[in-house]
Structure 1
C-alpha cells in the first residue's frame, strides 16, 4: 500500500489510551542478541499481522542524553525510559527498544536507540554497536530522526558525520535501499537563523554523500542524494527552559511527520516484520562482504517458499488424487481432469492471496515453481487421459478403415484421408483444455496426437503392405509354376516388384493426403515400402528354393503338356523345351538377384554344363569342382550352389526321363489326353510323377 501521507489516517490530537507495549528488541554491547520471543510477543499483542503493509516505522538516533526518549514520548505518547536530570546525565536506553505509538492509525512503530558517545563504554571501542544499531534503524525505518544539539552543527563527531557516512556505505553494500526521509531535529535552537542552520546541514549532507560515493567505487557514484533520501529539518526550543513552547513545536512536528510521504515499495508485510528485523540484524552483525538481496526480497523468498510448499502438500494429499493413484486400470476420465484443473486454480489463487504483500520477484518465482511442481506431479494423470483418448479413437479408426476396405475394396483408399482427418479432429475436441492444465496438456497433447497420427499411418501402411504381399506372392507363385507363359528372369521379377511398389505407394499416399507428409518423409516411406517388398520376394524365393525339384517337375509337366496338347511339337521336342524352362527356373532359384546392378552367368553355366552336356559323352563336370558357391553372388544370397544344382538336375532328369519314355510308347491322342490330365493332377498334388505315369501308361 503506497500512502502519499499519513495525515488523513493519522489523527493529530486526542490520543487513545492504547498501551504501547514497550519491548527491548536488541540487547546492547556485549551480547547484541535479537530477542526473538519478545519480538514475536510484541507483534502478537499489538496484532501487527492484521496490518498488511499499512504500517510505518519511525526511529531516532543521536548523542547520549540528548533527549531522544523524551522527544519520542512527547511525539507519540510512548513510555520509553527517560533520563532523570536531577540524577545527572547517564546512559538511559541500552540496545534497541520498540513500542507502538498510542492512538495512531495506521499502526506506527517507533524505535529508540542507545545514544552515541556515551561515557559508559569507557576505554572500549564500542562504536561498532553504534554503527550496527544505526544501520539497522536506517534499513527498517520510513522516517529516520536525527536528534542533535544546535551548537553541534558544523562539528564532526558531534554532528554524526562519521556515523552517517559509515551507515550509508553499509546500507548500500548490504541492502537494496528504498527511499526514506531523514528528518534532522535541531534541539535547543539559538539566535542563529534557522535558514542558515538548514543550509549548513544540507551542505554537510551533500559533502557526506559526495565523500561516500567518490570513495566507494562499488556504490552508485552518479546517483544523487535525493534518489535515496528526502532530507527534512525542524528546530525545537529547549524543553527545560521553554517547556510550553517546546510542546507546541512538538505538536507541529507531529503534523509535519503526518504529512511526510511514505515509500512502501520496499516494505515487507507486517506479519513478517519480526522475521525481517531478525535477518537484517544477522546480516549487519556478520557484515558479509556480499551483494546480498534486500531484506524485503530475503523475507519474501523464505515466506513464499514456505507458502508454496504448504499449498503443494495440501493439494497432493487430497483423497481424489490418491483414489486415482490406487486405480489399477488408470481409466482416468475428463471429469478427473476438470477436478484437477479447479484444484490447481484454487491452489494458485490461495497462494496469490497469501503472498500479496511480498516482493514480486520471489512471489512470481515460487508461484511458477509451485505450478510447475503440481503439474509435474499430476502429469501422469494428464498423460493417461490423452493416451486413453488416443487409443479409443485409434480403435474406431481401425474398425472404420477395415469396414471400408471390406465394402469398397481398394477404392476406399481414395476416401481414407477423410476418415483420418475426422479422427484427428475428434481427438482435438476430446482433449481437456482447462486453463490451469492447458500448458502441460498441450505439451503432451502434441505428443499424443503425433502418436495417434503415427499409429494411423501404421494401420494404413500395414494394410497396404498386406495387400502388396498378397500380390507379390501370388504373382511370383504364378511365375514359378509356369502358369504365366513367358520367359523367366530376375529382370521380370524386379519389374514386377517395382510396379507393385509404385501402385501400393500411390494408394498409401492417397490415403494419407490430409496429413501433410513432406517430400523427405514421403521418400523415406517409399524406401521402407521397397525394402518390405524386397523382403517379401526374398522370403518367397527362399521358400520355393527349398522345394526346387517339385517346382521344376510342376513346370516341366505344365510346359510339356501345353506343347503336346496344342500340337506345336512332337514328344522329344516338347520334352526338351519343357526341360529348358525348368532349367531356367533352377537358375532363378539358385540365388537372389534383386538389385539392378546384379550381374551373373548362372543361367549360362547351367545351360552349358547341364543342358548341353547332358546329351554328350563328356564325363568331366566343372560344377562338381570347387566350393558350392557362385563367384559373382554373395554367400548370403546363394540358395542353391553349383553342386547342389547338379544333384537336383540329375534327379530331375531321371524323373522326367521316365515320363518321356512312357509317353513315347503311347501315341494315341485319347491316351495322351488322359496322360496330360493325370500328369497335371499329380504335379499339382506334389506326388511321384514317375510312379503315377508308369501305372497309367502301362494299361
Structure 2
C-alpha cells in the first residue's frame, strides 16, 4: 500500500490479485504458499506472545498484565527477526486523564532509547484516535507488538485508555501513541474538550495519525469521529500549509462495498466536512488537499482471525518498508520531544491558537540556548581553552590560531546538536555562542595584548631614542617615528583584530599616546641636552681661553717681575756705580783738595790769597754737580771779592768752608739713594 495516493488504495481483504498489487509494494500480494505458511506461523507465534485469545480479543484481566508483559518481552528477546517494527519499551503514560503532562517521565523514556541519537530526529510518531472501545489499542498491539491495555469484554465495555500512552519501537524507530477514545460515557456528552484536545495534539505532533473507524459508522456523527475531525480540520487550517498524513483504518470490512467506492466515500465525507468549516463567504479558499493527505486501508473483523492477521501483517510490513522517519522537516530532536510536546499540549489546553512556527522558534531558542550554556560551561575542561590560558604570553598569531580552533570545535558541536532547529534561531544562538566564547576569552586576550604592548613600547622607545640621537632636529620626526612603531604593532595584532577590534584599537590608542608622549619628551630632552652640551662646550672653551690668558698673564707677570728685578739690579748697579763714582769723586776731590791745598800753599807762598781763592773755585766747579759746584763757583768769585774787601785770608777761609758743606750734602744724597728700594713692576 502506498498511503501517499488517495485514489490507489485497495482493500486488504480478499480482493483480486491485481488490486492487491496496486495497493501494496511489490511482493505484498504475490506471495507463495511457503511465504503464506511462514507468515501464518509467525502470526500464530505473535498471537500467543501478545495474549490474543480468539475473535473477541484477549481475555486478560488486570491481574494478568504482568504475566502478559513478561511473555511479550520473552517473545521479543527470542524472535527479534520475526516482527518489524518491534516494540522494545512501554507503554508509559505521557498525559494523564486530567490533562497533566509527565514531561520528566517522557524525557527519561526517550533518552533510554539507545537506537535513537538524542540529537537526531530519526524517529516518527504514529498516533491513533477514534471512538472509545473501537479496538484502537488492540490494533496497535497487533501492528507493532505493543502492550497497550485493551478492553476486557468479559468484564464489560468501559473506558480502558485514560489520557495518552506511549510505546517505542525499532526497525524503524517509532513512537506509538494511544489516545483516549472519544464519545465515552465516563466523561459524559458535555465533556468533549479533552478528546478534542487529544485529537488536535495527536495531529500536531504525529508524522502519521491513524483514524480508527468501523465500516458501519462511516457517515455517522459520533461513530465516524466527525466531532474530532471537525476540530482537527478547523485547527489544521490555522497552521502553516503542508500535507498532514492521515491514515483511515476501516474496521470490519466485509467486501460488499467496493473498496474504491469506500475510499471515495471516506475522502468525500472528509472534503465536505472541510468545506463546511472553511468555505465561508468573504474568506479565501482553503483547499483540503493542500493540508490533509488521506490514505485508507480496510481490515476485516478480527472474528475472521486468519484473514485479520494476514491483513495486519501486510500493514505492518508497509510500516517497516515505508518508513515515516524524515517525512516531516520541522520535527524536533529526540531529546527535545518532551519539551516540545509539553509546550504544544499546554497551548492546546489553554485554548490558545496554535502557532507552530512560533512554537518551533520557542523550542529552537530554548534548546539552542541550552547547547550554548553547555558549551560555555565546558570551557574549563576544554583543552583548546586551557591551551589559550597557558599561551597568553605567546604571539598574537599563535593565540589567534588556538582561538580559531576553539571556536571551530564549539561551533561545530553547536551545529551538530542544533541541526534540526529553526535556521534563523540557530544563527542567532550560534552568534551568541561565539560572542560569549570571545567574551570569556577576552581577559586572556587583554593580557596578551597588554604584554605585547609593553614589549612593543620598550622596543619602540629604544628605536625612537636611537633615531632621535642621529637626527638634526628630533622634533620634526616625532609623528613619523611614532607611526612607524604603531604600524608594527598593528601588523602584529592583525590576526586578532577581526574578533577583538575594539580591544586592539584600545591598546593601539594607549600605545600611541604613550609613544607620542615619550617621543616629545625625548625630543625636548635631546634638544635640552644638546643645548647643555653646547653650553658646556662653550664654557670649556671659555675656561680654556681663560686658562690660556691666565697663563699668559702669569708669564707676563713673571716676565715683568724679571724685568723689575733686572731694573732693580740695574738701579742698584747704577747706584753702586754712582756711589763708587761719588767715592771716586770724593777721593778725587780730596786729592784735588790736597793738591789745591798744596797749590795754595805754594801760591800762598807766591800769592797766598789769590791762589787760594782760585784753587777753591776750581775745586768747587769740579766736585759733583750741585750746590757745591755753585758754591765753588761762588767761592771762586767771592774769593777775590773777599780778598778785595777783607783781604786775602778771610776769602780763603770762606771758600774752604763752602767746599766742606757741599761735599757733606752730596754724600748724604748718595746714602739716601742707596737705602731707598727701586719700584717693583706689577
Report the counterpart of residue 426 of structure 1 in structure 2. Answer: 488
* Of 179, 191, 216, the match for 1:126: 191
| Partner SS state of residue 297, structure 2 | strand
Q: Structure 1 pair 360/321, CA: closer, same or farther in 2 (3 Å)? A: closer
CA distance in 1, matches of 2:390, 2:82: 66
Inter-partner Cα distance in structure 2 for 1:27 and 1:411: 85
For 1:162 and 1:87, how far apart are their aligned partners in 2?
29
> Partners of 2:463 and 2:281 in 1: how far apart?
79
Q: 1:98 corresponds to which residue? A: 166
- CA distance in structure 1 between the partners assigned to 2:174 and 2:292 by the alignment: 20
Change in CA separation of 1:438 and 1:167 when aligned onto 2, cut-off 3 Å: farther
| Alignment of structure 1 residues 644-659 onto 2, 5 Å | none
Residues 325-369 of structure 1 show CA distances to partners (whole Å, capped at 9, x for unaligned) of 999xx9676466655554343333333333344443433322221
Distance change (3 Å), C-alpha of 1:462 and 1:143: same
Corresponding residue for residue 251 of structure 1: 313
Aligned position for 1:72: 140
- 1:409 is paired with a residue of what secondary structure? coil
Closer, same or farther: CA 461–122 of 1 in aligned 2, 3 Å:
same
Counterpart position of 2:552: none
Aligned equivalents of 1:17 and 1:201: distance in 2? 28
Please, what TM-score do these two structures have when normalized by structure 1? Answer: 0.55
Between the two proteins, the alignment pairs up a number of residues equal to 453
The structure whose RCO (Cα within 8 Å, separation 6+) is larger is: 2
Counterpart of 2:117 in structure 1 is: 50
Secondary structure of the 2:93 match is: strand
* Alpha-carbon contact 2:385-2:406 (below 8 Å) kept: no
Provide the residue aligned with 1:228 in structure 2: 291
| 1:382 pairs with one of 437, 445, 448 | 445
Query: Quick check: 1:206 aligned with 2:237?
Result: no
Are the aligned partners of 1:178 and 1:266 in contact in 2 as well (CA < 8 Å)?
Answer: no
Matches within 5 A, 1:562-581: none
1:25 maps onto 2:25 in alignment: no
2:205 corresponds to 1:140: yes
> How far does the alpha carbon of each residue in 1:524-566 deviate from its partner, in whole angstroms, 9 at most, with x for none?
xxxxxxxxxxxxxxxxxxxxxxxxxxxxxxxxxxxxxxxxxxx
The alignment partner of 1:250 has SS state of helix
Matching residue of 1:115: 181
The alpha-carbon distance between structure 1 residues 326 and 404, as it changes in their structure 2 partners (threshold 3 A), is closer
Task: Judge conservation of contact 1:59–1:143 (CA < 8 Å) in 2.
Answer: yes
Contact 2:482 2:519 in 1 (8 A): no
The superposition leaves residues 397-432 of structure 1 with CA deviations (integer Å, 9 ceiling, x where unpaired) of 443334333323139957984x55643442233226
Is 1:149 the counterpart of 2:217? The answer is no
SS in structure 1 at match of 2:213 = strand
- Is 1:162 the counterpart of 2:227? The answer is yes
Is the CA contact (8 Å cut-off) linking 1:389 and 1:431 kept in structure 2? Answer: no
Tell me the distance in 2 between the aligned counterparts of 1:290 and 1:44: 27
Does the 8 Å contact 1:143/1:180 carry over to 2? Answer: yes
CA distance in 2, matches of 1:239, 1:45: 34
Q: Is the 2:279–2:285 contact (alpha carbons within 8 Å) kept by the matching residues of 1?
A: no
Partner of 1:313: 377
State the alpha-carbon separation in 2 of the partners of residues 421 and 48 from structure 1.
Answer: 63
| Counterpart Cα distance in 1 of 2:156 and 2:461 | 102
Shift of 1:453: 5.0
Q: Which residue does the alignment assign to 1:497?
A: none
- 1:449-487 Cα distance to aligned partner (Å, 9 max, x none): 45545655666667788899999xxxxxxxxxxxxxxxx
Partner SS state of residue 120, structure 1: coil
Query: 2:248 — aligned with what?
Result: 184
Structure 1 portions without partners, runs of 5+: 472-699
Which residue in the other structure is 1:440 paired with? 499
User: Which of 1 and 2 has greater Rg?
Assistant: 2
How far apart are the structure 2 equivalents of 1:162 and 1:402?
A: 92
User: Take 1:274 and 1:46, find their aligned partners in 2: how far apart are those partners?
Assistant: 14
2:475–2:520 contact (8 Å) kept in structure 1 = no
